[in-house]
A and B are shown apart, each in its own frame.
Chain A
Amino acid sequence: GAVVSQHPSRVICKSGTSVKIECRSLDFQATTMFWYRQFPKQSLMLMATSNEGSKATYEQGVEKDKFLINHASLTLSTLTVTSAHPEDSSFYICSARPAGTGAGELFFGEGSRLTVL
């Protein structure tokens, strides 16, 4: 199946700094990628939909200025957590759907665990 890679898998940062997480589709092009946040033992919460070459669409309640999303190419989307605070500590997961397919499934990255001290 298609492979989606996230980097870094784990990151620890100090409060007030910014952290960038990359999501790459390794063997397919993805016009759309999705970013999720997941707390322990809970479901995935969609944060935003990332569209190649255009602005991301954020879900209600997600701060656009806090979580910057850039989808600069058909294989790369980035999530930047700006001025991170301890409450931003979480597990972030991206997913992507191959371009040109109406097929159902999304392919998920391995996730990135962010810890803000």
Chain B
Amino acid sequence: AQTVTQSQPEMSVQEAETVTLSCTYDTSESDYYLFWYKQPPSRQMILVIRQEAYKQQNATENRFSVNFQKAAKSFSLKISDSQLGDAAMYFCAYRPREANSKLTFGKGITLSVRP
């Protein structure tokens, strides 16, 4: 069975600084997707970034980038130039590539941003 582990329940970052959220996963699949979702206080789930396992290049979306280490099964999220609006819960998630497969979430991490 696939599992996603986010071992840090909470983190805090100073505004304008950089923070890294860690995530590890376990799977026997070779082709899959990894995601980071953001859930602000509104509870709306927002996709932050997506990584396809067969792509070696780390995904980047503006201030958000990942460090994808396939052999180590690690998928960390780096937020640069942190903003107050980045404060939210962040969930790491995994899905096998096959159609209609389920999304497995980590427990999430609460990120606070200090002004």
- Which A residues lie at the B interface, using CB under 8 A? 1, 31-32, 34, 38, 41-44, 46, 49, 51, 91, 93, 95, 97, 102, 104-106, 108, 110-111
Contact = CB atoms under 8 A, between A and B. Distances in A.
Given A97-B100, A104-B50, A111-B43, A43 B91 contact: yes
Interface of B: 33, 35, 42-45, 47, 50, 52, 89, 91, 95, 97, 99-100, 102-103, 105-108, 110
B50 A105 contact: yes
A86 B35 CA distance: 33
A34 to B, nearest CB: 7
Contact of A42 (B35, B44, B47, B107): B107
Given A43-B107, A104-B95, A111 B44 contact: yes
A43 B108 contact: yes
B44 A108 contact: yes
Contact of A43 (B42, B100, B106): B106
A47 B100 CA distance: 15
Nearest to B4: A43
B97 A102 contact: yes
A106 B103 contact: yes
Contacts of B97: 102
A108 B100 contact: no
A42 B102 contact: no
B51 to A, nearest CB: 9
A99 B103 CA distance: 16
Given A42-B107, A104-B95, A105-B33, 16 more contacts: A1-B47, A34-B102, A38-B43, A43-B91, A44-B91, A46-B102, A46-B103, A49-B102, A93-B43, A95-B45, A102-B99, A105-B50, A108-B45, A110-B42, A110-B43, A110-B44
